[in-house]
Structure 1
Amino acid sequence: MTTSLVDSYAYCQQLAKRTAGNFYYSFLALRKEQFQAMCVLYAYMRLVDDLGDSPEHSFEERATALSHWRNGLQRALENRSDTDCQQYHACFPAVLDMIQRYEIPEHYFFDVITGVESDLQPVTFDNFEHLADYCYHVAGVVGLCCIHIWGFHDERALDASIDCGLAFQLTNILRDLAEDADLGRVYLPREDLNRFDYSPADIEARIYDQRFRDLMQFEVDRARTYYQRSERLFEYVSPEGRRILKAMHQIYGGILNEIERLDYQVYATRAGLPRWRKLLIAGEALVASRWFPGRAAR
């Protein structure tokens, strides 16, 4: 590796270690090259998300920053030189190396920018199809990148990873319902709200009643459907990938279970797993990789 490429990988690993929390430790269950690539992927996604979600900057400033990032990535892909890439951002040399090494389609990295850009303005969706398209851009593409890093042997893994990203993003949406509404973002489709005679204004007012519980049960059941659909991904990815996938299923699925355990009262309490449990999940993946490297996780 050139000096700039080594520095770029080091930058991404430091960022992932500082901000990825327990996911960083689950990455350690992968082979060294895969671990490094997952740190690069996480760093890229985190940086793009931060550009679009920094409250200290205006809408115009965030839109401009994302546009500059998109243009910088495009120029870096066209030039391909480590030195040229580094002038756009410290992560770009490692990102381009990862794309080439794991043959990840370049458009995934532009798709996520599009997803973050859609959050700049107040968000509403007419129907679930529109919400699913948004979830593809901010979560499905992450899953697609992951399976290229982990390795997969069946093209059906592509659709399964999109379903997995959708399940995880739906979980985030249900957990963060109130704080997203404060930012002008109502991700639940209007057709779903109408079905249960519940409105965006009710979300803003934190109205917790039977209508809301019925709506949330409907959304939790939908998310579980996608968790079930995504389980086929275990059959298509490498043993290393299965261990990370299992950990992610346990963490996000655990949040969904917690939302239900709270009787859907996400207005008063942020649903989540205790840190010790997330560390345990990450630790199990790491131990399995060291002691049972060839055994698949399910």
Structure 2
Amino acid sequence: MTINSLSWEHSLLNRAYHALNNSTPIEPVSLDQKLLIDAYKQSAAITQKYSHTFYIASSLLPAAQRAAVRALYAFCRMSDDIVDEGEENRLHELLRWRQESLANHPRKDNPIALAWADTRAQYHIPRQYAEQLLDGVASDLIQNRFATFDDLAHYCYGVASTVGLMTMHIVGYSSESAIPYAIKLGVALQLTNILRDVGEDWQNGRLYLPQDELAQFGLTEDDIDNGLINNRWRAFMQFQIDRARQLYAEALPGISMLGQNGRFAIA
């Protein structure tokens, strides 16, 4: 099999450019500074608790950017946790979080939404990027199979590439030419997570591997269920690993288009 990214790449570029070109500025959150500082501190605490690696990497950024990317992480983490660990009515809970987290002036008793709203305003992060992330997270509640890699790439864009696109606004970027690289890096990172977590995802009723490609390698869902490891499985996984490596390589030139302060932290 050959690796072809042209179809999904064009579609995802259109989504990203549409979000960027249809964004409108919002006013910074008007709050007592102590309340806002405390909100950012809580975002930092969430980042440190759930991702020590991200917390350390963000420490390489200047103070303001460091606080902002941790606010972004906390927003993403809260969104993920509602789907993965929320109560029975998770869709309702996610809709409520969507309204609160995208409000320009969230309630004062929601520190994560406060820090995130202030970050979006300060760094002019397009609202549609956040909406696309929430849509991607929500899709886990209604979709647990992917017919093709094109389908999977759109999922990866929603839950991962959007994070990179929003991060670009915080660390700075030289031109819109950086966008395709951010998209590919997000797809590569999410594909890596998928390949690492096949067994765990299967136990949770989810299979993110492209159905058509499993079939082309002679694999079935029964093979996944039985934990089969044979030459067909190894060949399939090697194909996916090669795809991820190709995406990482194609994304690498985009690092030089980021603001100088953010390059090392992202790389």
Aligned to 2:219: 198
Q: Distance in 1 between matches of 2:236 and 2:49?
A: 37
Alignment partners' CA distance in 2, 1:109 and 1:15: 19
Aligned residue among 20, 35, 57 for 2:87: 57
Q: Secondary structure at the match of 1:186?
A: coil
**Unaligned regions of 5+ residues in structure 1, if any?**
247-298
The number of equivalent residue pairs is: 236
Amino acid at match of 1:245: I
Alignment of 1:68-217 (within 5 A): 68-74=96-102, 76-77=103-104, 80=105, 84-87=106-109, 89-121=110-142, 123-217=144-238
Match of 2:11 in 1: none
Distance 1:71 1:29 in 2: 32
3-state secondary structure, aligned to 1:29: coil
In 2: Cα distance, 1:117 partner to 1:201 partner = 27
Match of 1:238 in 2: 259
- Equivalence for 1:29: 60
Q: For residue 62 of structure 1, what is the amino acid of its counterpart?
A: R
Q: Which SS does the other structure have where 1:103 is aligned?
A: coil
The question of whether the paired residues in 1 share the 8 Å contact of 2:101 and 2:117 is answered with no
Distance 2:114 2:87 in 1: 27
The two structures have a TM-score, normalised by structure 2, of 0.85
User: What is the CA deviation profile of residues 148-171 of structure 1, one whole-angstrom value per residue up to 9, with x for unaligned ones?
Assistant: 111100211111101001110000
1:48 aligns with 2:74: no
Q: Take 2:40 and 2:158, find their aligned partners in 1: how far apart are those partners?
A: 25
- CA distance, structure 2, for counterparts of residue 121 and residue 182 of structure 1: 16
Alignment partners' CA distance in 2, 1:204 and 1:86: 47
Contact preservation (8 Å) 2:75, 2:101: no
Displacement of 1:122? 5.1
Query: What TM-score, normalized to structure 1?
Result: 0.76
Deviation for aligned residue 1:24: 0.4
Q: 2:95 aligns with which of 35, 60, 67?
A: 67
CA contact (8 A) 1:144 1:162 kept: yes
After TM superposition, the runs of 4+ consecutive aligned structure 1 residues lying more than 6 A away are: none
Worse overlay, 130-139 or 152-161: 152-161
Structure 2: distance between partners of 1:97 and 1:160: 26
> What is the letter of the counterpart of residue 57 of structure 1?
E
Match of 1:288 in 2: none
SS, match of residue 85 in structure 1: coil
Q: Does 1:8 align with 2:8?
A: no
Q: How does 1:254-273 map to 2 (within 5 A)?
A: none
Q: For the Cα contact (< 8 Å) 1:20–1:42, is it kept in 2? A: no
Contact residue 101 and residue 113 of structure 2 kept, 8 A: yes
Conserved 8 A contact 1:152-1:238: yes
Retained in 1: the 8 A contact 2:94–2:138? yes
CA displacement, residues 186-215 of structure 1 (integer Å, 9 cap, x when unaligned): 111111111101012211210000110010
Cα RMSD after superposing both structures: 1.4
**Amino acid of the structure 1 residue aligned with 2:118:** D
Asked whether the 8 Å contact 1:122–1:184 carries over to 2, the reply is: no
Paired residues of 2:61 and 2:261 also in contact (CA < 8 A): yes
Question: What is the DSSP-based 3-state SS (H/G/I as helix, E as strand, rest coil) of the residue aligned with 2:111?
Answer: coil
Aligned to 2:8: none
CA contact (8 A) 1:5 1:94 kept: yes
Alignment-mate amino acid for residue 123 of structure 1: N
Q: Aligned partner of 2:69: which letter?
A: M
Please give the alpha-carbon distance, in whole angstroms, between the structure 2 residues aligned to 1:44 and 1:73: 8
Contact 2:136 2:155 in 1 (8 A): yes
